[in-house]
Structure 1
Amino acid sequence: MAWSIAQVARMSKVTSRTLRHYDAIGLLEPAWVGGNGHRYYEREQLLRLQQILLLRDLGLGLDTVAEVLDGRHRAVDVLRNHRRWLRAEQERLARLADTVTRTIREMEGGEHNMKMEELFDGFDADQQARYEAELVERLGEGVQEHIDEGKRRMRGWTRADADTFMAEWHAVAEAYGALFDAGVAPDAPEAQEVTDRHYRWICLGWTPNRESYTGLGRLYVDAPDFKVQFDARAEGLAEWVRDAIAAYAEARLS
């Protein structure tokens, strides 16, 4: 017995777009494709999809899921490593939650002895350093001056400035997700309008040129910490944003 992609989407609560993305990256190919181009799945593919969803629920990235299912890594070894990461992240988030609690008390007037360095307890400086190093490695030493420029601009920010900055990022990301869900092409005018908003948001911190902005788009796909944020919204969104940024950079930047 075979099920169409629409039927599988309804059964599994996975969108047809996600199933097509899984096919495109070789993670879950259909049993066969009809003459009309529609994908059809049989029991073997449904069992593999179940395993994919179980591993994704555990927080594993698609590359790791593929390696586990294809036998390149033992599932138990991958899960042990992931458990170590989760525990470290749990500790970091606990510190971050405590920082937020103390900040709320400070802002409400209930606590006035909070040290300035405590404002940033729980933020991952090593992670930020990795992002910076990856940008420099990808784009050359010239991008370091952009990074330094961003640090200088942000040094004088208040907490309200930082909150506004992050709120705009979430708004842009949500706008990207809505366009992706609607099937809008990355180079369509609507997508480029949101990308212009994204570029202007980036310029609050630093001003990328064509090369560095394109590199940032690639980083959204290649850096797991970024990609997982987009994948949490929709599978394939990171690649879509990368392509939207590349189209914008090619058309508008030098």
Structure 2
Amino acid sequence: MDDMKNITEVCRLLGITSRTIRYYEQLGLIKTVRKSNTAPRQLGTETIERLRRICFLRKLGMGLDDIADVIDSDVKAAELIKSKKAAMKTEINELVERVNLLTEVIAAAEQGENIYETEKRLSLPPDHEEMKRIAGECTKLILERRFDELQGYLDDDMRQMPPGFFEVSWNVHIKPCGAFVSIGEQSIVADTVINRLHFEKQDIAILIEVHAGIVTGMLLQYCKE
């Protein structure tokens, strides 16, 4: 016989409310049963598992209409998840661009520039050579462990990093790579300059985001050439 559980038990099991269960039933996503008109509503094992899957897809950010279309097919659910991930990556990229734009406008305002006039400057194509120059200088300072001099290139957010951050990063991530050998050719992807550093044991790529002559982000990756 199917192991039936009442709504209170299911709510405790899945961490949801009875209102959620009633709403999903109204939408036709699940069905509850009752042995008589006065008996409490219950859910069978298969329904509970179906409800668990619905809750999981909701946690991944799926809409109920989309869930209704894919809940009976694992293949369709997987395709929906892939589609959702792609859409979210696009949204993240757009948000990053917006944050970068806000950073530049705030910097202009702090320097007394009219914020509406910054649009003319920001609409200009990026100066890749200047970006490479700044990223190259920052990379050189890192290699020479002149971390204090980096501050003049960083935006306000990066200056808030804990004291000794670069020193710790050097000791933990760069020093184990062995002796420094050479710097590879620079490349640019969107607003990020990639400097490839060759070490005795392991190569490293330092990704440096540059906006309007200011470094807004750094990322270190191990790599192979």
* TM-score (norm. length: structure 1): 0.40
Whose strand proportion is higher, 1 or 2? 2
Whose helix proportion is higher, 1 or 2? 1
Higher relative contact order (CA closer than 8 Å, sequence separation 6+): 1
Bigger radius of gyration: 2
